[in-house]
Amino acid sequence: MPGALFRVWLLVTALLVGALTPSATAHQQKAAITKVLFNPRTGNIEVMHRFYLHDAEHAVRHIFGRKADIIGSKETQQQFADYVSERFALSADGVSPLPLAPVGFEIERRFFWVYQETPMQDGIEELTFRHDALRDLWPEQINTINVEGIGDIRTATLEGSIEVASVTLDTPKN
């Protein structure tokens, strides 16, 4: 929409912000970490999103309604996994996003994991990420992405105004 410089942001329902503030408590971290792994064994780029269960618990009730239950309901878990998948995108070298197939989700101790994957491509020099999950709910949400399995670890952090973030890879040149 060229020329539109100002628009009311209506992604989920923005009126929910601020009910819980992260002042002196560590109990809602509002921080997720994603591992993007170039896995030579599977030939895939594997995407593993880790959310604090406590963040997810609050989020699902905001997004899917009061009955949503991330611990007890498979339906809620699936909804949340879909919600995350819709808000995460990965593009290589500036071209259109790579198609990410859903792999599944699970709870592990204090964490809720969402898995995705896409076939590995050769010669990627730059990866660009969008990761809006929970950021459309809480402005304090910080999503960190570590790219591993291809040279040194590269990190992209999505917080505040940063809508997309890129990392350059140590791809061997042919």
Partner 1 sequence: MKKGLIVFSTLIALASGAATADAVKQTKAKFDDKFRQLDEVLPTANVYRNAAGEPGHEYWQQKVDYKIKVALNEAKRSITASETVSYQNNSPDTLKYLWLQLDQNKFKRDSMAEKTTAFAGIGRRGPATRAANGNTPAKLSFSELRRQQFMDDHELGYEIRNVVDGRGRPLNFVIVGTNMRIDLASPLAPGDSTEFSLDFAFNMVDENTVSARGGYEHFPDDAREGGNDIFLLAQWFPRLHAYTDYEAWTNKEFLGRGEFTLEFGNYEVEMTVPADHIVSSTGVLQNPNQVLTREQRNRLDEARTAERPVFIVTAEEALENEREGTDEIKTWRFAAENVRDFAWATSRKFMWDAKGYNQGGDVQPFVMAMSFYPKEGGDLWKKYSTEAVVHTMEVYGRFSFDYPYPVSQSVNGPVGGMEYPMITFNGPRTTLNDDGSRTYSQAEKRYLIGVVIHEVGHNYFPMIVNSDERQWTWMDEGLNSYLDGVAGREWDPTIPWGVEPRDITGYMKSQRQVPIMTQSDSIWRIGPNAYTKPAAALNILRETILGRELFDFAFKEYANRWRFKRPTPSDFFRTMEEASGVDLDWFWRGWFYSTDHVDISLDRVYKLRLDTEDPDIDYARLREAEEDKPVSLFVERNKAEGKRLWVELNPDVTDFYDENDRFTVTNKERNKYRSFMAKLEDWERDVLTRAVEEDKNYYVLDFSNKGGLVMPIILQMTFADGTTEDLHIPAEIWRRTPDAVKKLIVTDKEVTQIVVDPYWETADVDVENNHYPRRIIPSRVEAFKDPSSSGLVRRDIMQDSKVKLKTPGDDDN
- How many CA atoms, within 13 angstroms, populate the side-chain half-sphere of residue 48? 13
Q: Do 165 and 129 form a contact (C-beta atoms < 8 A)?
A: yes
Q: What is the dihedral of CA 142, 3, 94, 133, to 10 degrees?
A: 20
Q: How far is the CB of 174 from partner 1 (least distance, A)?
A: 26
User: Could you say whether residue 78 binds partner 1 (CB under 8 A)?
Assistant: no
User: Could you say whether residue 89 binds partner 1 (CB under 8 A)?
Assistant: no
**Which one-letter amino acid corresponds to residue 77?**
Q
Rg (CA), the chain: 17
The residue written with tokens 């990392």 in the block is 167
Interactions with partner 1, residue window 91-150 (CB under 8 A): 103-104, 106, 108-110, 113, 115, 117, 135, 139-140, 142, 144, 146
User: Could you say whether residue 22 binds partner 1 (CB under 8 A)?
Assistant: yes
Q: Do 138 and 14 form a contact (C-beta atoms < 8 A)?
A: no
The residue written with tokens 């050769």 in the block is 122
Interactions with partner 1, residue window 34-63 (CB under 8 A): 35, 37, 39, 41-42, 44, 46-48, 50, 53-54, 57-58, 61
- How far apart CA 93 and CA 110 sit, in angstroms, is 35
Stretch touching partner 1 by CB under 8 A, among 78-86, 87-95, 120-128, 162-170: 162-170
Which C-beta is closer to partner 1: that of 156 or that of 174? 156
Q: How far is the CB of 89 from partner 1 (least distance, A)?
A: 13
Which C-beta is closer to partner 1: that of 117 or that of 174? 117
